[in-house]
Amino acid sequence: MDSFENIELLDCPLCHGAGMLQDEDGWCVYVSCLDCGCHTAELRYRTPEERLEMARQAARFWSVGKVIHPGPGE
């Protein structure tokens, strides 16, 4: 499978911590913060081409601050 190394991630939109692109056992990708735990939506894919496009889309969501924060009340 293709690597995500060419996809640039900004710092976390909430806490400015480091973000990491995650792949969940071949069915979805998302970006999560290593510090506060917020994350983008899980984007499903079926093919290697879709995987790369969904990874880019998750990075775009992250860049504009479309994240879910697992704080109190959620």
User: What does each of the 74 residues of the chain score in pLDDT, given as a tens digit?
Assistant: 457 888 999 999 999 999 999 999 889 999 999 999 999 999 999 998 899 999 999 999 999 999 998 876 55
**Among candidates 28, 53, 25, which has minimal Cα distance to 41?**
28
Q: What is the end-to-end Cα distance of the chain in Å, rounded?
A: 34
**Structure pTM?**
0.87
| pLDDT score for 1 | 47
13 φ, ψ to 5°? -70, -15
| pLDDT score for 2 | 57
Domain residue limits, the chain: 19-64
| pLDDT score for 7 | 93
Counting other chains too, the contacts that 27-32 makes at CB distance below 8 Å and 24 or more residues apart are: 28/54, 29/54, 29/55, 29/58, 30/58, 31/58, 31/59, 31/61, 31/62
